[in-house]
Amino acid sequence: MPARQTRRQKSARARDAASSSDDDGSEVAMNGNGSAHNAPEVSDSTPPENIFLFWPNIIGYCRIVLAIASLYYMPLHPRTCSLLYSISCLLDALDGYAARIFEQSTRFGAVLDMVTDRCTTSCLLVFLSSAFPRWAIIFQGLIALDFSSHYMHMYATLVVGGADSSHKNIDKSKSRLLNLYYSNKNVLFVFCALNELFFIALYLLSFSSPLLSPHLIKSVEESSGGFVQPGASVNTSLLRQMFPDPFSAGALELARANKMDSNVPWALVGISFPVMAMKQFLNVVQLVKASKSLADVDVESRKAKGLPREVKAKSG
């Protein structure tokens, strides 16, 4: 009797083990009570998703179109340009909400968002370099810092954390400032918005402030040294007089047509400057931390390879 019961118990365990997998050898998911049930499988008939048509990415494409349109109007129409550029920047917050609502967070969308941010800001800084040539080296430095900081940070994130890691997951032990910046959505929005607002305000001042752009509000007579008769035929010489600096922001007559009060832009500069300066400091911190992370990976990699090799002392 005991021998028969043992054989029965073994056969029962064998049947249980056999039933714990499907006929095709696939694993079976277990529920909370420990009973087995078949895991859901994706049907071969399910059409593949088109990542490029996800709602957050469509919003990203709209941002690009608006940014290009703002660049088209940038040299001559400051109001239209500022409106289009501002809408493009504000949509940066909307695509994140869309990604969470529709469960459409993708690596392509994250890279598209970052590339769009870097390119639009750089294009505006390039224009400011031409509008304020004396300060061009500052704007060029900001472009270099922005690109290098974010590139190093993204690359370090992929090297240290792997392909599934996010550049927004910053350990507090490494940097409390970066952790607060990337983890708190309100802080991230305020910093990005006021940073862009500062440069937009500078752009508006290039059309409105005689302190920063005195040549933009000179009359044709003052700039050419002569009087232009009303109704005079437009010729090449006159165009050169009207536009002595064709690469400046809204030269002369077109700048006067778009003349604006500089009080509001100056107020925006004053409000946004501290946050913009802090944003640049965060870029420096991000660049330094990313560089250190990559250097630590290099040290460990060299140790694993037995580098640096010990140099044996030469005998007598």
- CA separation, residue 254 to residues 70, 110, 184, 213, 250 (Å): 17, 39, 43, 14, 6
In this prediction, residue 25 carries a pLDDT of 42
Query: Which of 19-33, 147-161, 165-179, 199-213 is least confident?
Result: 19-33
Tokens matching residue 203: 């752009």
In this prediction, residue 262 carries a pLDDT of 84
Supply the mean pLDDT for the chain.
79
What is the C-alpha to C-alpha distance for residues 51 and 109, in angstroms, rounded to an integer?
9
Q: Which residue has the higher pLDDT, 268 or 216?
A: 268
The yes-or-no verdict on residue 15 having pLDDT over 80 is no
Do 139 and 128 form a contact (C-beta atoms < 8 A)?
A: yes
Task: Determine which one of 95, 113, 117, 146 is catalytic.
Answer: 117
Could you state, in order of their start, the residue ranges of all structural domains in the chain?
Answer: 51-213+259-301
- The band of 101, judged by pLDDT with boundaries at 50, 70 and 90, is very high
pLDDT in tens, 47-85: 889 999 999 999 999 999 999 999 999 988 899 999 999
In this prediction, residue 12 carries a pLDDT of 52
Q: Which residue has the higher pLDDT, 107 or 226?
A: 107
In this prediction, residue 143 carries a pLDDT of 97
- The band of 309, judged by pLDDT with boundaries at 50, 70 and 90, is confident
pLDDT in tens, 292-306: 999 999 999 999 999
Length of the chain: 316
In this prediction, residue 166 carries a pLDDT of 78
pTM score, two decimals? Answer: 0.72
The yes-or-no verdict on residue 34 having pLDDT over 50 is no
pLDDT in tens, 179-200: 999 999 999 999 999 999 999 9
Contacts of 106 (CB under 8 A, 6+ apart): 51, 54, 56, 57, 99
In this prediction, residue 211 carries a pLDDT of 75
The count of other CB atoms within 10 Å of the CB of residue 20 is 11
What is the C-alpha to C-alpha distance for residues 194 and 178, in angstroms, rounded to an integer?
17
pLDDT in tens, 206-261: 888 777 766 554 544 444 444 444 444 444 444 455 455 555 554 544 544 455 67
Domain covering 51-213+259-301: architecture: Up-down Bundle (1.20)
Whether cis (ω within 30° of 0) applies to the bond prior to 274 is no
In this prediction, residue 23 carries a pLDDT of 41
Residue type, 308: P
117 catalytic? Reply is yes
- Beta bridge partners of residue 37, listed in sequence order: 29
Residue 184 falls in which region: left (phi positive, over 0), alpha (psi -120 to 50) or beta? beta
Enumerate helices (H) and strands (E) in the chain, giving the number of each. 11, 2
Q: Which residue has the higher pLDDT, 209 or 266?
A: 266
What is the C-alpha to C-alpha distance for residues 173 and 160, in angstroms, rounded to an integer?
15
Range list of β-strands (E), 216-278: none
Q: Which residue has the higher pLDDT, 16 or 189?
A: 189
